Structure formats: C-alpha cells, structure tokens
Amino acid sequence: MFKSLKIRLSITVIVCLAALYFLLPTFVADIPAPWNRYLAKEKIHLGLDLQGGMHLVLEIDTDRALEDMVERRANDLKESLMDRKVRFRNLKKAEGASMTMELPDPAGKTDLDNLLKEQYPEFEASSTKQGDSLLVTLTLQEKRAAEMKKLTVEHSLETIRNRVDQFGIAEPEIVPQGDDRIMVQLPGIKDPDRAKNLIGKTALLEFKLVDEENSLEEALRGLVPEGSVIAYGPAGSGAGRTPYLLKNKALLTGASLETARVQIGDRFGEPTVSLKFNAQGAADFDRITNENVRKHLAIVLDGVVHSAPQIRERISGGQAEITGNFTMDEARDLAIVLRAGALPAPVNILEERTVGPSLGSDSIRQGIWATIIGSIFVIIFMVFYYRLSGSIADLALIINVFLLLGVMAALRGTLTLPGIAGILLTVGCAVDANILIFERIREELRTGKTIRLAIDTGYSKAFITILDTHITGIVSAVFLIIFGTGPIKGFAVTLIIGLLASLFTAVFVTRLIFDYVTWNFNVKKLSI
C-alpha cells in the first residue's frame, strides 16, 4: 500500500511540476538568467477577443482565376498552332472558361483535335459551320474547372499564411470557410491597414518586353496591336501615370523567384527590393537579356510598371531590382509578398472587424472576475457541505485549473473568451465528479463499512459514472472542433483539456489524499 502511495504521489508531483514548467513564462514576464535558458519559451497566447486585433473574411475570385488560366492557355495554343502550321484566326478568350477561334480550312479541325488530345485534354471542342470557315469553341471541362477552383483556394490559403507568418503575428488563425472564402484572425495587430494591404495584394510579378515596334500614341487612341497591351506606371504626385506599350506575353514571372529582400539604393538612399531568381529563373533571365540586348524590359507588379530599363548587356547571376518611391515599410511588405508568392486570384474583403485592446482588456478582467467569483462560491459550498472532504475537493479543483492552463501553454494554445467559459464549465464538471464520489462514500458508510473500505467501494462505484460523463463531454467537444469555427473551437479545446484534467484530479489526486490520510493517521471518523 505504501509503495503504491509513493508511486501515485510521484506521478502527481511530476505532472504538477511539468505544468509549472510550461506556465512560468505566462505568469513571470522576465525570468532571470540563466534560468530562462532551461525553461519553456512559449506562453499562453490571447485570442482576438481578449487582446484585440483584426478579423477578416476574404472571398477568392475563383472565376477570375479560371479566366486568367484560359487566357494563358489561349496564348500557348496560338504558338502551338503556328508551330504545326495550322491556319486560324481570331483566337481569343470567350465568356467564362472558354475560348473561340476560326478555322478558314475545315480540314484543320483534325490537326486541332490531335493537338487538344496531346497537350490540352482538359478542353472540350465544339464547332459550327460559318460560311466557308469553321467556328470552334473550346470549353474547360466542369470537373477540371472545379479542381482548379479548389486548388486556387488552397494556394491562396497557403500564400496568405506564409505572408502572415513572415509579418510576425503570433498565433494567427487562417482557415477556409465554404468553397471560396478564407477567414483570417490577427490577434494583437498594431497596423490593420498595413496588414490588410499585405494580405490582399496579388503580387503578380512579370517581366515583359516593351513593344518598340508599334506606336504608343496610336495604341492610346485605341489602335492596340494584337499581342500587345497598354500598362501604366505607379501613381505619382505629378501630371499623371506614365503609359507603356508592352508585349502581352510574360517572359518571366515571380514563380521563378528564390528570395526578395530590401536594400538601400546607392543614388538617393531610397529603399529598393532586390530580387534573386532560382537556378531555372537565373538561366531564363540570362537567356532573355542575351536575346534582347538594347531593348527595354518592363518590371510589372500587379499590372503596374515599376520600371522599364534598357538591357545594355547580357545579365548573368539571376538578380534584378525593383525601384520606386517606396517607404521602408512598403519595401519590406513588398519583399514579404514576393517571397511568399503571388495570389492565384484577386481577393475581396467581405467582412472586416477590428477589436480594440481596451475591449480585450475589459473581456479579460470580466472573465477573470467571473472565474474567481464562481470558484469562491464553489469552494465555500464544498467546505460547508462536505467539510474536510470538501477541502480536499477544492484542492483538486485548484490543481485541475492549474493543469488545464499548463497543457494549453505546452500546446501553444490560444485562450479566448469562449475558452474562459470552457474553463468555468470544467470547474463545474470537476465539482460534480467529486460530489458523485462523496455521495457514494456516504452511502457505504451508512451500511456500516469501515472508512477505508467505504472509500475504496465509493471510488469503484463512482468511477464508471464519472468516466461515462467525461467521455460523453469529450466526444461532443471533438465534434465542436471538427465542425465549429474559431470561438467554438476555443471553447471545445479548453473543455477537452479541462475534462481530462478533471478526470485525473477527481479519480487520482483526491484518492491519493484520502489514502494517505487514512493510512498515516488513525482516522476514526471521516468528515464528509
């Protein structure tokens, strides 16, 4: 019996010390050296509703992503048809996820079908006779379109998460909602406008040749040559934005970037963004600059031409630079979004909510007071009704909350206002478990059993009931985590941890105290 007590006491002490190990950074702001090197670094983070921050619901324009993909495929198809010497005209993107073209020679339909089968199997072709020519419509398959939309949302989710992580926000919550929406919660954000711009920027980086063969003036009058497009420089304080006539085809994109970092320019000391390409991108950049010496290469970001320098010589090494009237924060944010990658589709903000830190402080204060007042009433009731045994239950209750917070700190959990409600609920569950045990012990004492036998029988009979109630609560909380949103999940997580801690303290810790007292002291009457 004594050996069993020693083992159980050792387990309890180890569990409590482990909880203390993870909780110290939360309750002690500055741990003196050298102890801080040996203790846990993470602490319990506060959720959006407790420390303030920003809540966003974003809508991913998946239809636009499909249209852009179809347009790129249309440009590729043009080159493939020209390579195979298939006559066509008016190949362009149509409404939705489709494109149209004319075949002057209907016999070219066979070559087109073979090409689609080999290189473009995701498109279905339909044709109608139009005079001597054939009008062909290529439509993206519905299954493939659905897959593309799903991949677009997943890619957007990962890109936004990478941007937020590099921005340095602790414990953000970024989760999908429905088919085309993403919920973003940024606790403790100090500059909401900057964060919003960082998240919503598409950051599509393209390198395009300036069309120097055609007249910019004529293009501005509406005579834009096929294969070219008009783009503008960034908005400035001067007379207006500078127009450029660019080749529509991008020679290089941000997908070939290895990294992007902020540098200070040599001439005026202004921040610039230095780009470094990966191996394939460096090889492509070397080839592009070698083939286009004395031509102008435009650096285009989200459709805005930031610069269009002349290629004076072949550039090896895979490095480039984006210049502009950047502030240091703008340059840093641009470097972040370029490193994280471009969003595959535009993002629209459907819902925006900002929680101030003062409101969060009020929530913390009210939650703490609610916990303290509720716990005091529970402690008083247990001592009044069950006397010394009630004091044992109160000690287990304190240990229960202590272990709950320790596990949350170990798991790097986030405490929310619903999470505080979950803690209060676990307090009630812990008390209920002890009440079941005490009432069972009372029943056994009334039958005339000895104190030790009554305690042993009472715990044995109450155990199954306590286990059933706790498992039922845990299963319910698991489903809340699976199907619930942020606040609901916060409640469910604290509830699960609290129920597990309650099961440990009610069945293990209180039994340990009862066995220790009855074994080491000659107890004639149990105060219960």
**Boundaries of every domain in the chain:** 2-52+357-520, 63-144, 201-354
| Cα four-point dihedral sign 85, 89, 93, 96 | negative
The architecture of the domain spanning 201-354 is 2-Layer Sandwich (3.30)
pLDDT computed for residue 209 by the predictor: 93
The encoded tokens of residue 490 equal 């916060």
Burial of 77 (0-12, 13-18, 19+ CB in 10 A): buried
What kind of fold does domain 63-144 have according to CATH? Alpha-Beta Plaits (3.30.70)
Q: Are 247 and 238 in contact (CB under 8 A)?
A: no
Low-confidence stretches of the chain (pLDDT beneath 50): 1-2, 237-238
What is the per-residue pLDDT across 437-461, written as a single tens digit (0 to 9) for each?
989 998 988 888 888 898 989 899 9
Q: Is the pTM of this model over 0.95?
A: no
pLDDT computed for residue 403 by the predictor: 92
CATH 1.20.1640.10 is right for the domain spanning 2-52+357-520: yes
Q: Are 265 and 233 in contact (CB under 8 A)?
A: no
Helices (H), 279-356: 279-291, 328-340
pLDDT computed for residue 170 by the predictor: 65
pLDDT computed for residue 486 by the predictor: 64
Burial of 128 (0-12, 13-18, 19+ CB in 10 A): exposed
> For the CA atoms of 68, 71, 73, 76, what is the dihedral angle to 10 degrees?
-130
Q: How far is Cα of residue 93 from the mean position of the Cα atoms in its chain?
A: 34
